[in-house]
Amino acid sequence: MRMADRSEDDPWLWLEDVDSERALGWVRDRNAETENELAALPGYAALRERLKTILDARDRIPYVGHHDGRFYNFWRDADHERGIWRRTTLDEYRKAQPAWETVLDLDALARSEAENWVWAGVSFLEPHGTRCLVSLSRGGGDAHVVREFDVALLAFVDGGFTVPEAKTSVGWIDADTLFVATDFGPDSMTASSYPRIVKAWRRGTPLDEATLVYAAQPDDLSASAWADRTPGYARQFVLRQVDFYTSELFLRDPSDGRLIPIAKPADANAFALRDQLIVELRSDWTIAGRTWPQGALLAIGFDRFMAGARDFDVLFAPSATTSLDGIGATRSALFLTILDNVKNRVVEWHRADGRWQRRDVAVPGMGALHVSAVDEYESDQLFLTVTDFLTPSSLSLMDAGSDARTLLKSMPAFFDAAPYAVSQFAARSPDGTNVPYFVVMRKDVPLDGTHPTLLYGYGGFEVSLTPFYSGVTGEAWLAQGGVYVLANIRGGGEFGPRWHQAALKENRQNAFDDFLAVAEDLVRRGITQPRHLGIMGGSNGGLLVGAALTQRPELFGAVACQVPLLDMRRYHELLAGASWIGEYGDPDDPDEWVYLARYSPYHNVAPGRHYPRVLFTTSTRDDRVHPAHARKMAARMRDQGHDVLYWENTEGGHAGAANNEQTATMWALTYAFMLNQLN
């Protein structure tokens, strides 16, 4: 049974027409109101200028990716608003002021082509090709054009591969052939607005004559394909992504295009690592007389698995407090980043004499760690990033098998961290679950409940929130006397798949309850009081703070709701929304709409109730979460007589801003709002 569409009951439906003059006129009026008020606050101009200086700082870490002996970096600063793509050598990169060679100047390209280009990434022909595929977005959305570029000639390839603007997945098969999943015309995109058809495109032929590789179902999330070009282990793969959490993986025979299923569990992730198949489990897997636990990472010989063997090696098994946070592979080693009570450690695995061998890597034990290979094809070097709330991030170079680290770069201190301390507490959710959270505050402040406090959360899609260093947060909030709180609520991945699945679909209220429990715990500890407590969240986190706003408005003094998801009746009909049914449920299913209706912020905000003041921010060019979520919620609340502010950037995509200038404005408005409401 399907529910009838109830859009006729929505008086603000016209705000879903993104670029209509009526909708944009409404946006311009709201933007003017917001900017006139917030930009006039004492300290706003100085704060915005300081944030712009931080974002443009030339001594930030220029993170790099390696290809064929060169280290590439995309960089924005005051002189490069849209950015430059540049490269250097490792010897130069080690220096305080490396000599960079500009590969592509995006500002110059945008001027010459009269296009609003925003960098969207690059894919090289590995391991030694000079050709790459550059992705460029108009205004910062997920849709982008793809153009072939030659890094030897420093120019786009005349007559080279070009894919028109779409939500595209593209990758090299060989120097003259690509896998392309894009908008091929009618019926080629899924209901989630992603490609459902993959083709192999030969150089010199029209895109519409490319050879069909695979077609997913219209209700699937997407389809994609890629070639693993590891020397000696070249393979091709096709992925049918049914939804966010289930998929089918195929090995493609390049001789005849035949697809051979890789018999992993539907909700598991799997990938080839030279002669091994690595499988990451999201639920228990019972096979060949043994049960492998949810959250485990397994390994087995690739060819043996395809022949029917199931005698896995266990590279990671979770505990009550540990989960797998990241995986990085060098030429001969596999590095696992593990979360233990939301703190990272690193384990290295390598194969010797046909067996996996393990060692713990000696790395800092506090904060967040990230490991990535310099070159997974030919090198055993890796980058290690170390960060926490109060210590500027650092980037070091390591070798597999060694604990020695060479510091390459460190971020400057953008604020004085000496007065602050980081604590980790736990709040008790209504069902008895302990929910950890971090608090960053001055060491010497009395616990008298007077401190402006900002509580941030996300709680979805198995995304873990870990400590991070931010000059923007430090200057705009901590240095202004604020307390910063990061909540590790259910729905995230801090304790593995079980932590995420505890807030799926009909259990979504658990994430909201956890967040509210943290807020109450902050009050109980004397850190703050409701009139001084603000909450902030973006995307799924915007849904989180929207639900908190409507369920417990008396608990908060201000809300910053960013690029949010708020209308749970129509979310699946807007842009990529259909892809999230596995996370939230299907509003057209009467049984599932029952629980969605209970918390949908757009349907639960009511006249006659007192709500804390809200600042909604979004982007016209967000083609992932429709800006109508924020538009309609703000319009409904205004119509009901509630005091809200609304600001919509005309660029920026789901990030909300397309360059440092816009980012500085967005954060200055947000923090000026919070400081004004909570002090």
pLDDT in tens, 570-592: 999 999 999 999 999 999 999 99
Percent of residues, the chain, with pLDDT higher than 90: 96
Judge whether 293 lies within some domain: no
Residue 453 and residue 393 share a domain: no
Boundary (domain end) residue, out of 390, 411, 432:
411
Task: Give the helix/strand (H/E) hosting 199.
Answer: strand 197-202
More confident residue, 7 or 33: 33
What's at 74, amino acid-wise?
F
Task: Give the per-residue pLDDT at 136.
Answer: 98
Q: State mean pLDDT over 565-570.
A: 98
Task: Give the per-residue pLDDT at 656.
Answer: 82
Q: Is the pLDDT of residue 9 over 90?
A: no
Task: Give the per-residue pLDDT at 364.
Answer: 79
Judge whether 229 lies within some domain: no
Which residues are CB-contacts of 626 (< 8 A; sequence separation ≥ 6)?
A: 16, 18, 574, 575, 577
Task: Give the helix/strand (H/E) hosting 52.
Answer: helix 44-56
Boundary (domain end) residue, out of 117, 140, 166:
166
Q: Calculate the average pLDDT of the chain.
A: 96
- Give the SS3 label for residue 90: helix
Boundary (domain end) residue, out of 166, 184, 218:
166
Q: State mean pLDDT over 199-203.
A: 98
Residue 561 and residue 495 share a domain: yes
Residue 20 and residue 94 share a domain: no
- CB atoms under 10 Å from CB of 83, counted, come to 20
Question: Are 527 and 451 contacting, i.e. CB atoms less than 8 angstroms apart?
Answer: yes
163, β-bridge pairs? 146
Q: State mean pLDDT over 531-537.
A: 98
Spatial distance between the Cα atoms of 285 and 557, rounded to a whole number of angstroms = 46
pLDDT digits (tens, 9 = 90+) for 112-124: 999 999 999 999 9
Q: State mean pLDDT over 537-547.
A: 98
Judge whether 139 lies within some domain: yes
Residue 666 and residue 563 share a domain: yes
What's at 626, amino acid-wise?
H
CA 166 distance to own-chain centroid? 20
Percent of residues, the chain, with pLDDT higher than 70: 99
Query: What are the φ and ψ backbone dihedral angles of 618, each rounded to 5 degrees?
Result: -160, -170
Task: Give the helix/strand (H/E) hosting 661.
Answer: helix 660-678
Rg (CA), the chain: 25
Question: Are 599 and 565 contacting, i.e. CB atoms less than 8 angstroms apart?
Answer: no
Spatial distance between the Cα atoms of 366 and 360, rounded to a whole number of angstroms = 15
pLDDT digits (tens, 9 = 90+) for 611-639: 999 999 999 999 999 999 999 999 999 99
- CB atoms under 10 Å from CB of 590, counted, come to 11
Residue 586's domain spans which residues? 7-52+443-678
At 4, is the pLDDT very low, low, confident or very high (cuts 50, 70, 90)? very low
At 8, is the pLDDT very low, low, confident or very high (cuts 50, 70, 90)? low
Give the CATH number for residue 512: 3.40.50.1820
Spatial distance between the Cα atoms of 533 and 520, rounded to a whole number of angstroms = 10
- CB atoms under 10 Å from CB of 109, counted, come to 16
- Residue listed under structure tokens 């995006």: 106
197, β-bridge pairs? 215
Spatial distance between the Cα atoms of 558 and 645, rounded to a whole number of angstroms = 11
pLDDT digits (tens, 9 = 90+) for 511-529: 999 999 999 999 999 999 9
Task: Give the per-residue pLDDT at 1.
Answer: 30
Q: State mean pLDDT over 329-335.
A: 95
What are 551's two structure tokens? 């369920």
Residue 653 and residue 516 share a domain: yes
What interhelical angle do 660-678 and 44-56 show, nearest 10? 140
At 5, is the pLDDT very low, low, confident or very high (cuts 50, 70, 90)? very low
133, β-bridge pairs? 123, 148
Q: Is the pLDDT of residue 3 over 60?
A: no
Instruction: Report DSSP letters for 341-379, one per residue.
Output: SS-EEEEEEEEETTEEEEEEE---SSSEEEEEES-TTT-
Tell me the C-alpha to C-alpha distance, in Å, between residue 524 and each of 423, 489, 519.
Answer: 16, 18, 9
Residue 25 and residue 68 share a domain: no
Residue 616 and residue 506 share a domain: yes
Residue 70 and residue 45 share a domain: no
Q: Is the pLDDT of residue 248 over 50?
A: yes
Judge whether 630 lies within some domain: yes
Residue 68 and residue 44 share a domain: no
Spatial distance between the Cα atoms of 274 and 281, rounded to a whole number of angstroms = 20
CA dihedral 33, 34, 36, 42 (to 10 degrees): 150
Largest CA distance in the chain: 72
Judge whether 426 lies within some domain: no
At 168, is the pLDDT very low, low, confident or very high (cuts 50, 70, 90)? very high
Q: How many residues does the chain have?
A: 679
Secondary-structure breakdown of the chain: helix, strand, coil percentages, each rounded to the nearest 5: 25, 35, 40
Judge whether 337 lies within some domain: yes
Spatial distance between the Cα atoms of 338 and 340, rounded to a whole number of angstroms = 6
What are 51's two structure tokens? 């944030």
Residues with catalytic annotation? 539, 654
Question: Are 662 and 652 contacting, i.e. CB atoms less than 8 angstroms apart?
Answer: yes
Judge whether 306 lies within some domain: no
Strands across the sheet containing 222-228: 222-228, 235-241, 247-252, 259-262
Q: How many domains does the structure of the chain reveal?
A: 3
pLDDT digits (tens, 9 = 90+) for 270-296: 999 999 999 999 999 999 999 999 999
Task: Give the helix/strand (H/E) hosting 517.
Answer: helix 509-524
CA dihedral 389, 391, 395, 398 (to 10 degrees): -100
Query: What are the φ and ψ backbone dihedral angles of 497, each rounded to 5 degrees?
Result: -60, -35
